[in-house]
Amino acid sequence: MSLQGSLTHEEYCAQLLAETEKFRASVRHADLSATVPTCPDWTLADLARHVGGAHRWAGELVATRATAVIDPTTIPGAGGPDDDTPEALDAWLAEGAERTVAALREAGPDTAVWSWASDHRAGFWARRMVHETVIHRADAALTTGAAYEVPPEVAADCLDEWLELCALPTAAERWADRAEGLFGPGRTLHLHATDAPPALHAEWMLDLTGDRLTHRRAHEKAAVALRGPLTDLLLALYRRRSLDDEGGERIEVLGDRPLFDRWLTYASFS
C-alpha cells in the first residue's frame, strides 16, 4: 500500500524545510521550560528535541538505505545539541532538517527504505516528516500563542495520511480494545473544509459500517458531519484542539456528536 501522498517528492522536501523554519520561529524566543499543554509530559525544549531527533532518525534511515529499524540513540547528535542554549537548539533544528532533506533529495522517492508502515520507500519519510513537523508546530503554537495556519494542500494531505495510518491493519490490531461501540451499521463521519479551494475537494467520508475504517474523499450524508476551516479540522482530528475549547466553536457539528467523540478516543497513537 502506497502512502506517498498528493505532493511531489520535491514539494515534500521544500515543505519540510519551510515547516521546520516555522517551528523554529515558534520556539526561538519562547520560554523553553514551558509545559506543552497538548503533550503535558514535555517542556517546549523536549518538544523541540523530539522534532529534531525525528528528523535525524528519518534522515539516517534514508541515507543508509536501512532495511531494518535503527535505534535512534545510536545516531550521533539525535538527542539534541551539547549546548543547552536557545541559539544552539535553533541551529541544531535547522541543521537536522537540512541534512534530512539532502538525504531525501539524493535518494529520490522510490528508493527502498525501512518504515514502520506499509510503504517502504524514501518518499514515505519525506511525507511523514512534513506532517510530523506540521502537527508538532501546532503543539508549539498552542504553548507560545503563536499564529498557526497550514497551507491548504499540506493540511489536506496531512488529513489524508492520518486516515491512511488509522486504516492500517496494524492500527486496527493495536486499538482493538478501544473499538467497542464504534463500528457497525450507520456509523459514518463526514468532514467538510469550508475554506479550502474548490479544486482541492477537501471533504472526507469515514466509513465505520464494517469492522474497520475505510475512507474516501467524498461529499456524502453521514451520521455526524463536521464543517469548518481546514486547519481547525486537522487540529480536531489530531486531538490538538477540542471542539469545546476556545477556537473549537469554528467547527459546526451536525448529527451524532458522541460518535465523533468515540472516534477520537479510538484513533490515537499515544
User: pLDDT tens for residues 171-193?
Assistant: 999 999 999 999 999 999 999 99
- The CA-based angle 138-47-96, given to 5 degrees, is 100
What's the grid cell of residue 157?
494531505
Q: Look at domain 154-266 and name its CATH class.
A: alpha beta
User: pLDDT tens for residues 60-74?
Assistant: 999 999 999 999 999
Fold of 9-148: Four Helix Bundle (Hemerythrin (Met), subunit A) (1.20.120)
Which residues, in sequence order, are CB contacts of 226 under 8 Å at separation 6+?
189, 190, 191, 192, 233, 236, 251, 252, 253, 254, 260
Please report, for the chain, the start and end positions of each structural domain, with discontinuous segments joined by +.
9-148, 154-266
Which residues, in sequence order, are CB contacts of 15 under 8 Å at separation 6+?
7, 130, 151, 154
User: pLDDT tens for residues 1-27?
Assistant: 446 589 999 999 999 999 999 999 999
Answer for the pair 124, 113: CB distance below 8 angstroms, yes or no.
Answer: yes
Tell the residue number behind the cell numbers 486516515, with chain if given: 163
